[in-house]
Chains A and B, each alone.
Chain A
Amino acid sequence: MTLLQVSQLTKKFGGFTALDGVNLTVNKGEIYGFIGPNGAGKSTTIRVLLGLLKSTSGTAKIFGLDAWEDAVEIHKKIAYVPGDVNLWPNLTGGEVIDLFLKMRGVTVDSARKEKLIKQFDFDPTKKCRTYSKGNRQKVALIAAFAADADLYILDEPTSGLDPLMERVFQSCVLEAKEAGSSVLLSSHILSEVERLCDRVAIIREGQIIESGSLAELRHLTRIQLSVETKRAIDDIASVKGVHDLEAKENAYTFQVDGESLGEVIRYVSDFGVKKLESAPPTLEDLFMRHYEGTQSEGGK
């Protein structure tokens, strides 16, 4: 079942096109990763989804409702955490959490709230002006996860958290998934997206350039191989499908196109393989591959 559907979404700010025909679907019970460099349009997309920005053309629907027209109805069933959390300096963190929960109109399970406060190691009695970026983010995270939501929209929610807290965050997201909720997670931390997300979309200059499950994306790309042989491999660089070769004595590391893998293995095996390691491409590899290609075209 589709919870969130964006089709042909375009957003212009004056003459600048921030989003150019973005398509995106998030299904019930899935964690959807949304990645891309600064200024690619992640936050703009999310702000359109929240009804904070009005789309220039195209549609953005959540729960089948229009993101701009039915913002209030939609927001009753979602929770949002921005990357940059600003709070009222003279209220305490605890007060803000309660205020946000009250505004969501949900019944607060105070045991759950207490548990989260404890898990995040958060002191809710301090005034917001004294909190660091990470602590302000905890306020938004606790307010988001202290009550059930059908959809969590998280825009770089861990940019200020330490690795320990990031783990707490990840367990919160997985719990939400187990409870049947969906999550749209925009992030720069690719390992986090890799660990959590069922599907991923990559956005660049306002356009989605790749989307699908991680397995699908990996299929499109190369595999990292490192080989050690008894004899030097003749002329491996010229074998079809081999890229980025690094050779040191009889040890080689290179990338192989998915479809040429069989051939390359056959070729290499003639030279007396001592060690063979293969690794799936990381999301980082995927990401870099998309950007390296485009930088030479698009960069000035």
Chain B
Amino acid sequence: MAKQSSYQTALLFRFFSKREALKITTWIVSIVVVTLMVALALSGLFQNDQERQAIAETMRNPAMSALVGQGYGLDNYTDGAMLAHQMLLMTAVVVAIMNILLVVGLTRADEEDGQLEMIRALPVGRLAQTNAALLVMVATNVVLTLITAISLASLGIESIDWHGSLLYGVVLGITGIVFGVFTLLAAQLSDNARGTKMLAFAVLGVSFMIRAIGDAGNELLSWFSPLGILLGTEVYVNNYWWPIAVSVILAIIIGFVALRLQQTRDIGAGLIRQKPGKKEASRFLQTPIGLSLRLQRTPLIAWLIGMFLIGASYGSVLGDLEGFFAENEMMVELIGAVEGVSMTEQFLSMLMVVMAIMGTIPALMSLLRIRGEEKKERTEHIIARPISRMKLLMTYLAIAIITSTVMLLTAVVGLAGAGLALLDVEVSFSTLLQAMLAYLPAVWIMLGLATVLFGFAPKFTSWIWFYLIYSFFVVYLGELLEMPDWLVNLTPYAHIPELPVESLNWSSLSLITIIALGLYAMGLFGYRRRDVEG
């Protein structure tokens, strides 16, 4: 054991808190606001016990359990039970993501970039950085817990009481802490920030999958997932605290192991060793398109698998939908009922837009990589050679457009593969395919706007994400929250014919595609005449 390994932890804690304050505040406020909005929407939507009970009945199926967790308190499905059952898991996943990003940023990322070396050459303990990162992470989750608990309880909804609200907050906070320490452990295993992030997200993904399979049938399995354990609290119904105790012990053990590893290892080292790479570049890699594809190979493959799983998991709930919708008023509101069309078809068109927005994420990421490369001053290596900026940006655009197509295709194949057999309504694969691909022009508009931002205001390129989040928000919750049409129409996704409910409208699709092409041309023009900004 080295001496004074925690020396100056407090100083680093203050430094880190200041550095991350804005980011953390944004996360916490967003999480709490969405939670409160949903709580209010749920209690407004179902005015009496019968309506709530009707929903409860629809929750008694394995597909719903796989998506949101095992139903509990279904015999007396209060507002609180509904909120916890339908929102807690999703929110916990978001909290986990926040913590993974936070911890990677404070630990392995600084180590990889070399800032840690500077700090450790000062009289600062070997564990001070890790300790400080842990403290910031725990403090963030404590604040999140308290704000969530207090604001939920003060809504004054009958079944959303103080005890349950406190536990609701604590479940979120502990989820954050558990995944925070998992990330810390991952940071010891991998010797770079990207690897750490991927490991931590893999743990989150596997936790979710194990719980989903467990909740859908084999209940024992759910206890092997941190998320499964935490859902065992049965917030607002039974308010069990023992899963919290188990999770705290788990977090302490993992945190301890991570700290031990951190204490004894070399700076810059990870337990998983890097394999030596290829000595020479393949012919494919030597082209701009090959280079760019190679750089994003791993995330693209991960997204392909992800899109397939999203499609397949939606597909698996398609059975017995009519019965489900007959009683689920909230889902009907979410979808926005249209006379004369089966609910299944309407649900399908809802799924399509959600999957289209999901599929937009990898396409945008692929395009925005050009901005990342520019910021890191790596595009210079390319455009200093006889490759024009136009060609470079067009390469990225082409890859992004192909990515969007492939992602949507994969999702719809997953959906059809898992769902077509289950459907009790006659829907053909080609209908599903058309319905899905009809959203491509909307995705291309998003890519176009990103290109324009990149061409004219590169510093604000990432603002496109806000627009995507906004789009998701209005198409997903627009009907439920009864938003005015003009707000909904601000997103390109609202202008796509909703197959199979509506019919294919070639002229509007072509128009949208032409606008997208115009945006690309504009972005290319802007990029050609602006400075390269490192």
User: B60 to chain A: which residues have CB within 8 Å?
Assistant: none
Decide yes or no whether A39 CB sits under 8 A from chain B.
Answer: no
> How far, in whole Å, are A140 and B121 apart by their CA atoms in the complex?
11
**Shortest CB distance A108–B (Å):** 14
Decide yes or no whether B386 CB sits under 8 A from chain A.
Answer: no
| A50, A68, A86, A104: the one within 8 Å of B2 (CB) | A68
In contact, B118 and A82 (Cβ under 8 angstroms): yes
Decide yes or no whether B484 CB sits under 8 A from chain A.
Answer: no
In contact, A51 and B273 (Cβ under 8 angstroms): no
Decide yes or no whether A64 CB sits under 8 A from chain B.
Answer: no
In contact, B2 and A69 (Cβ under 8 angstroms): yes
In contact, A72 and B11 (Cβ under 8 angstroms): no
In contact, A53 and B266 (Cβ under 8 angstroms): yes
In contact, A86 and B123 (Cβ under 8 angstroms): no
What residue of chain B has the Cβ atom nearest to residue A50's Cβ? Answer: B121
In contact, A51 and B2 (Cβ under 8 angstroms): yes
In contact, B120 and A54 (Cβ under 8 angstroms): no
| B114, B119, B273: the one within 8 Å of A103 (CB) | B119
What residue of chain B has the Cβ atom nearest to residue A140's Cβ? Answer: B118
| B5, B115, B124, B265: the one within 8 Å of A75 (CB) | B124
Decide yes or no whether A105 CB sits under 8 A from chain B.
Answer: yes
CB 8 Å contact bits of A266-299 with B (1 = contact, 0 = none): 0000000000000000000000000000000000
User: A82 to chain B: which residues have CB within 8 Å?
Assistant: 114, 117-118, 121
A1-38 with Cβ < 8 A to chain B: 13-14
Decide yes or no whether B267 CB sits under 8 A from chain A.
Answer: yes
> How far, in whole Å, are A114 and B118 apart by their CA atoms in the complex?
22
CB 8 Å contact bits of A74-91 with B (1 = contact, 0 = none): 111010101011111011
CB 8 Å contact bits of A234-269 with B (1 = contact, 0 = none): 000000000000000000000000000000000000
- Binding site of B, secondary structure by majority: helix, strand, loop or mixed? loop
In contact, A72 and B7 (Cβ under 8 angstroms): yes
In contact, A86 and B114 (Cβ under 8 angstroms): yes
In contact, A52 and B121 (Cβ under 8 angstroms): yes
User: B121 to chain A: which residues have CB within 8 Å?
Assistant: 50, 52, 75, 78, 80, 82, 153
User: A86 to chain B: which residues have CB within 8 Å?
Assistant: 113-115, 118
> How far, in whole Å, are A53 and B126 apart by their CA atoms in the complex?
11
Decide yes or no whether A47 CB sits under 8 A from chain B.
Answer: yes
User: B163 to chain A: which residues have CB within 8 Å?
Assistant: none
B1-16 with Cβ < 8 A to chain A: 2-5, 7-8, 11, 15
Decide yes or no whether B220 CB sits under 8 A from chain A.
Answer: no
In contact, A73 and B118 (Cβ under 8 angstroms): no
User: A78 to chain B: which residues have CB within 8 Å?
Assistant: 121
What residue of chain A has the Cβ atom nearest to residue B121's Cβ? Answer: A80
User: A13 to chain B: which residues have CB within 8 Å?
Assistant: 269
| B3, B113, B122: the one within 8 Å of A69 (CB) | B3
What residue of chain B has the Cβ atom nearest to residue A103's Cβ? Answer: B122
User: A53 to chain B: which residues have CB within 8 Å?
Assistant: 266-267
| B118, B125, B126, B267: the one within 8 Å of A100 (CB) | B118
Chain B interface, number of residues (Cβ within 8 angstroms): 29
User: B122 to chain A: which residues have CB within 8 Å?
Assistant: 75, 80, 100, 103-104
CB 8 Å contact bits of B263-289 with A (1 = contact, 0 = none): 011111100010000000000000000
Decide yes or no whether A220 CB sits under 8 A from chain B.
Answer: no
User: B3 to chain A: which residues have CB within 8 Å?
Assistant: 69-70, 72-73
In contact, A52 and B123 (Cβ under 8 angstroms): no
In contact, A99 and B15 (Cβ under 8 angstroms): yes
In contact, B126 and A51 (Cβ under 8 angstroms): yes
> How far, in whole Å, are A47 and B268 apart by their CA atoms in the complex?
11
User: A230 to chain B: which residues have CB within 8 Å?
Assistant: none
What residue of chain A has the Cβ atom nearest to residue B128's Cβ? Answer: A72
Decide yes or no whether B19 CB sits under 8 A from chain A.
Answer: yes
In contact, A50 and B114 (Cβ under 8 angstroms): no
**Shortest CB distance B311–A (Å):** 39
Chain A interface, number of residues (Cβ within 8 angstroms): 35
What residue of chain B has the Cβ atom nearest to residue A49's Cβ? Answer: B121
**Shortest CB distance B492–A (Å):** 33
What residue of chain A has the Cβ atom nearest to residue B18's Cβ? Answer: A91
> How far, in whole Å, are A85 and B19 apart by their CA atoms in the complex?
19
User: B264 to chain A: which residues have CB within 8 Å?
Assistant: 54
**Shortest CB distance A27–B (Å):** 22
> How far, in whole Å, are A141 and B3 apart by their CA atoms in the complex?
28
> How far, in whole Å, are A86 and B120 apart by their CA atoms in the complex?
13
User: A72 to chain B: which residues have CB within 8 Å?
Assistant: 3-5, 7-8, 123-126
Q: A51-B120, A86-B114, A86-B118 are in contact. Are A73 and B266 (CB under 8 A)?
A: no
CB 8 Å contact bits of B105-119 with A (1 = contact, 0 = none): 000000001110111
In contact, A84 and B11 (Cβ under 8 angstroms): no
> How far, in whole Å, are A145 and B344 apart by their CA atoms in the complex?
72
In the complex, 20 of the A-B residue pairs with CB atoms within 8 angstroms, ordered by the A residue number, are A13-B269, A51-B120, A51-B126, A52-B120, A52-B121, A54-B265, A68-B2, A71-B2, A72-B124, A73-B123, A76-B123, A78-B121, A82-B118, A85-B118, A88-B115, A90-B19, A100-B122, A103-B122, A104-B123, A105-B123
User: B8 to chain A: which residues have CB within 8 Å?
Assistant: 72, 103
> How far, in whole Å, are A86 and B19 apart by their CA atoms in the complex?
16
Told that A70-B3, A72-B5, A153-B121 touch, could you supply 15 new A-B pairs with CB distance under 8 A? A51-B2, A51-B126, A52-B120, A52-B121, A71-B125, A72-B8, A73-B3, A75-B121, A75-B124, A82-B117, A84-B114, A85-B118, A86-B115, A90-B19, A99-B15
B429-465 with Cβ < 8 A to chain A: none
> How far, in whole Å, are A71 and B6 apart by their CA atoms in the complex?
11
Decide yes or no whether A102 CB sits under 8 A from chain B.
Answer: yes
What residue of chain A has the Cβ atom nearest to residue B267's Cβ? Answer: A52
**Shortest CB distance A157–B (Å):** 13
In contact, A85 and B266 (Cβ under 8 angstroms): no
What residue of chain B has the Cβ atom nearest to residue A74's Cβ? Answer: B123
What residue of chain B has the Cβ atom nearest to residue A101's Cβ? Answer: B122
Q: Counting chain B CB atoms within 10 Å of each CB, which of A72, A74, A102, A104 scores highest?
A: A72
In contact, B124 and A50 (Cβ under 8 angstroms): no
In contact, A50 and B120 (Cβ under 8 angstroms): yes
User: B15 to chain A: which residues have CB within 8 Å?
Assistant: 99
